[in-house]
Structure 1
Amino acid sequence: MAWYDEAVFYHIYPLGLAGAPKQNDYGEPVHRLNTLLPWVDHIKEIGGSALYIGPLFESVGHGYETTDYKKLDSRLGTNEDLTAFVAYCHEQGIKVIFDGVFNHTGRDFFAFKDIQANRENSHYKDWYCNVNFWGNNEYNDGFSYDNWGGYNLLVKLNQKNPAVVDYICDVIRFWVSEFDVDGIRLDAADVLDFDFMKALRRTANEVKPDFWLMGEVIHGDYSRWVNGETLHSVTNYTLHKALYSGHNDHNYFEIAHTVRRLQNMGTLKLYNFVDNHDVERIYTKLTNKAHFAPVHVLLYTLPGVPSIYYGSEFGIEGRKEYGSDDSLRPALNIEDYKDSVKTNPCTALIAALGKVRQAVPALSYGSYDELMLTNRQFAYARDLDGTRVIVSVNNDDAPAGMHLAAGNCTAYIGALSGEKVSVQDGHINITQPANSGEIWVPDGTDLDVKPVKVVTKTESEAKTNTEDKAASETATDAKGNKEAEPKIESKESKDIVTATESADAKKNTTNTEKNISAANEVKDSAKDASAQAAADTPVDPETITVDWSKSPESMTVPELQAAILAKLAGNGPVDAQMKKTVTDNIWHDSLVNWLKSFR
């Protein structure tokens, strides 16, 4: 067991959080990194035990065009600042991993500058891929070269060159000796050379016990990267996509199928997240903001290592605008959120989940067993050494009853609500409140968690919903049927005020609520039946030629399946299980979101 097996990560993009200028003038260092020290205390307060921070090293702009791997970006401060920062994290019991941008460098990196100056006579002409002195580029270098993502600002390193491998391995050794870093997140790991990653793993094993290598990988068979020879973990973009679209579509089948497919890849400790510096904030992506709660209960309890991106624990918004990621990487002042654990239900929930995760080993090491699955309700167990922990989530706007197989104990306690339920005939019977989740632990589990508020609708949402409901009671369609329930609009989570229902209120669920739940079950059963009918006459997506000029929304289900399989094939072999996972998903909106998640 290593520290990262039970870690709760916090992710900081330092240039954004510290409010650094967009462009580096390579002038005198400005000690902005020191302003982030109070965030370390905040990380500890919300139950974090590890920090992923980066990019950190000298670059010209956003940080991923490195110009000096051994110097803290002057917009953030000096190497001494970084050494002190990591030391303070360690004093607070928090591990630290850096961004390792080893696939490419910036144009101001010393090796590239030497090629510009000496051309064919440069000792570094083979440090980059396909340097062609008969070509040219938009910078009028008089030569061309391979890049990352189509951007000549990011010059692709030749990872098959032993000199490059030795240099990068020496960088890792320097980071450990100089800063005492505990691990590295490898940028663009899905395009790194595998022999190169093996060399990095050998170096990781050499420099420090339990030194962690995690890679940025979007899609594919993650076991290609996560194994004893290459990386310890990769970014779980597959689950990231399922977590938000599974709630927006009221489709827990998508999440459950995703977990099964990941389980079939092997026992992998994947890096789980719901947002980061490259994708929109979870609070922005959720159609119903009340789903913030069940999404994060799943994040903290499904197999893998959970991570929170700075600011998202406050429920802030963040949307990509005009092709820029700036709004995803804002400058924040921790003083503006100093009481958030007490006053903001989103933050209180994240803090409670962090404490539960640290106190319940089954959530880090336990096996996974699916207990119940419908479109709107989902439950599973995490079993470890005879102890069963049960997780239940509900994405419906009404409470839902669940009958769940329990472990060898007489009663369970809701870790978030404090509710106690007895085990009867090997099961527990619970009523899961609307748009919520719970972690049921054996009675007697040592938890230092106070009951938290349910993150539900805002006051304005509740008012809108009441007005729309009144209107819908008289509105009918051409067939005389009542219209479908209205779409709920919402504001930021700072307006969320509805508290958790008491245990007595749950037991006395009104007949109206029960009728709503029953109606939803009928509706979802009909939806499932319709989907199953479509599945009974499937079209093999491998027989379809994808028309990439069509938008995902305009594609049919088989076309979407074919397009997703084509994208997966670009990351490696598509085995029978992967194909089955794609063809089993027959929900159009879910497939649209899946296809859009590829980049």
Structure 2
Amino acid sequence: MTSEPGWVRHALWWQVYPLGFVGAPIRPSTADDRRLTHRLPRLEGWLDHVAGLGLDGLLLGPVFASQSHGYDTVDHFRIDPRLGDDADFDRLVAAARERGIRVLLDGVFNHVGRAHPAFRALEEEGPRAGTADLFRVRWDGWTPGRPVDADVFEGHEGLVALDHASPAAADLVTRVMTFWLDRGIDGWRLDAAYAVPPAFWAQVLPRVRETHPQAWFLGEVIHGDYAAIVEASTIDALTQYELWQGIWHGIADRNLFELSHALGRHDALLRTFVPATFVGNHDVTRIASAVDPDLVPHAVAVLLTVAGTPTIYAGDDLGLTGVKEERLGGDDAVRPELPDRPPPVEALSPQARAILDAHHELVALRRGRPWLHRAHTDVLEVTNTAIVLRTGSGEGAVVTALNVADEPVTLRAADGTSVAAGAGSLHDGQVTLSPRGWAVLAADPH
């Protein structure tokens, strides 16, 4: 079992894609698009909403100077001028701290933008450049003035891959991580961690932990042998895409056996590490578009009652919709601009209000039961349209019952003694749910 900082047991994150959230031009085409604009302070207007939900973490997408969408970094040590400057960032971190909210930054350490000074030096100076060993380059046939033949990330010519076998790359990433941890952040999301050799992280992270032993490192991994990656890399947690898929597919397709299967595999990972769980993020279709909006609370109920370190994507808590498409600009719909402050509750549609209310209920339930972070889940009953989960430890248990059918259902209540969230009728060891109903039952510890 890998170790993680003790504070992570209580961590509940709210994820933001800053460039989209504050309305920055994602594909700047003029100098005016790139001029210093203090947009980052707009996030401060949402911090009371985050704290009011009961969340205590702000997971920020890319904030460093980049060419377009944030993942084509050109300066890891400078805030993107489309967002603001150092003072804006420091003020945001301080405002979060005042509310007990930690901050996680998105580290793009697999690749950089082609306009990064380190790579531009190669194009100008060739193999004599002092930064030549930062990249995987083929110099055969190169002559001054010709493009440099370098490895890129997943076919994207604008994203030049670092050479992770190079000590220079390890030194750079260590310096970047330490610099911002010194500035007050609490850890890093490691973008495209699946594309980086685990040995690279195993070299870098212990060096960072020497000065920041309480930092938490979350790796973006989409598939593969999660446990083996964690053990080889020393990363604390990985993104749990398999559970995400099991949740929304199980609900949308009315095939809760898929959710049951994903939960079994999820539970097995706890022997090695605690995964980072989610039902939405900046790279996927929003949950209120992936499933019927009436069933969003069902997805959130699973997220917040099974083991993991949960993240809620900004706007999902308000029922925002958006479909990801595989095309240029296909992420824009799931990364929209939001207003300076959250809308008043009375301005929300009944559907959005129900989704927000469910988030409040379920986060409060999770906040009062931090042992759920590493608790074991058993599937007690499952059909295509109904499922009963019991998640427990020596400190207590909860029973989560879901009905995605259009008619009521009566299910096993196990040792559930009262309705802690949602709505259900308890009687004789059973719980009756209304059509499309859900409930989380509290159980006394044994």
Settle same-fold status: TM greater than 0.5: yes
Secondary structure of the structure 1 residue equivalent to 2:231 = coil
Matched, 1:5 2:9: yes
Tell me what 2:62 maps to: 55
Larger Rg: 1
Tell me what 1:455 maps to: none
Deviation at 1:429, TM superposition (A): 1.5
Name the CA shift for 1:277/1:194 in 2 (closer, same or farther; >3 Å).
same
Tell me what 1:314 maps to: 318
User: Whole-Å Cα distance in 2 between the matches of residues 63 and 256 of structure 1?
Assistant: 36
Name the CA shift for 1:336/1:261 in 2 (closer, same or farther; >3 Å).
closer
Secondary structure of the structure 2 residue equivalent to 1:415 = strand
Secondary structure of the structure 1 residue equivalent to 2:224 = coil
Q: Is the 8 A contact 1:362 1:382 kept in 2?
A: no
Letter in 2 for 1:212: W
Q: Is the 8 A contact 2:425 2:432 kept in 1?
A: no
Please give the per-residue CA displacement for 1:18-59, whole angstroms capped at 9, x wherever unaligned. Answer: 000124548542110001101111111112111110101000
Name the CA shift for 1:321/1:376 in 2 (closer, same or farther; >3 Å).
closer
1:419-434 superposed matches below 5 A = 421=426, 428-434=429-435
Name the CA shift for 1:235/1:214 in 2 (closer, same or farther; >3 Å).
same
1:523-542 superposed matches below 5 A = none
Tell me what 1:441 maps to: 442
Name the CA shift for 1:83/1:203 in 2 (closer, same or farther; >3 Å).
farther
Q: Is the 8 A contact 2:307 2:372 kept in 1?
A: yes
Matched, 1:278 2:278: no
Name the CA shift for 1:187/1:322 in 2 (closer, same or farther; >3 Å).
closer
1:159-174 superposed matches below 5 A = 159-174=164-179
Count of matched residue positions in the alignment of Structure 1 and Structure 2: 431
Letter in 2 for 1:113: R
Name the CA shift for 1:340/1:233 in 2 (closer, same or farther; >3 Å).
farther
Unaligned runs of 5+ in 1: 445-599
Secondary structure of the structure 1 residue equivalent to 2:378 = strand
Match of 2:129 among 103, 122, 133: 122
Q: Is the 8 A contact 2:410 2:431 kept in 1?
A: yes
Secondary structure of the structure 1 residue equivalent to 2:100 = coil
Match of 1:234 among 220, 224, 238: 238
Q: Is the 8 A contact 2:306 2:375 kept in 1?
A: no
Letter in 2 for 1:167: L
Name the CA shift for 1:88/1:315 in 2 (closer, same or farther; >3 Å).
same
User: Whole-Å Cα distance in 2 between the matches of residues 393 and 203 of structure 1?
Assistant: 45
Matched, 1:150 2:159: no
Letter in 2 for 1:413: S
User: Whole-Å Cα distance in 2 between the matches of residues 340 and 57 of structure 1?
Assistant: 36
Tell me what 1:535 maps to: none
Letter in 2 for 1:11: Q
Name the CA shift for 1:131/1:81 in 2 (closer, same or farther; >3 Å).
farther
* TM-score, normalisation: structure 1: 0.68
Name the CA shift for 1:128/1:340 in 2 (closer, same or farther; >3 Å).
farther
Unaligned runs of 5+ in 2: none
Matched, 1:345 2:354: yes
Structure with more strand by fraction: 2
Letter in 1 for 2:298: P
Letter in 1 for 2:438: G
Q: CA-atom RMSD, angstroms?
A: 2.2
Tell me what 2:396 maps to: 387
Tell me what 2:274 maps to: 269
Letter in 2 for 1:200: V
Moved more, 155-164 or 365-374: 365-374
User: Whole-Å Cα distance in 2 between the matches of residues 161 and 353 of structure 1?
Assistant: 46
User: Whole-Å Cα distance in 1 between the matches of residues 336 and 223 of structure 2?
Assistant: 27
Matched, 1:400 2:400: no
Secondary structure of the structure 2 residue equivalent to 1:69 = strand
1:356-505 superposed matches below 5 A = 356-385=365-394, 387-406=396-415, 412-417=417-422, 421=426, 428-442=429-443
User: Whole-Å Cα distance in 2 between the matches of residues 340 and 440 of structure 1?
Assistant: 29
Name the CA shift for 1:340/1:240 in 2 (closer, same or farther; >3 Å).
farther
Letter in 2 for 1:330: P
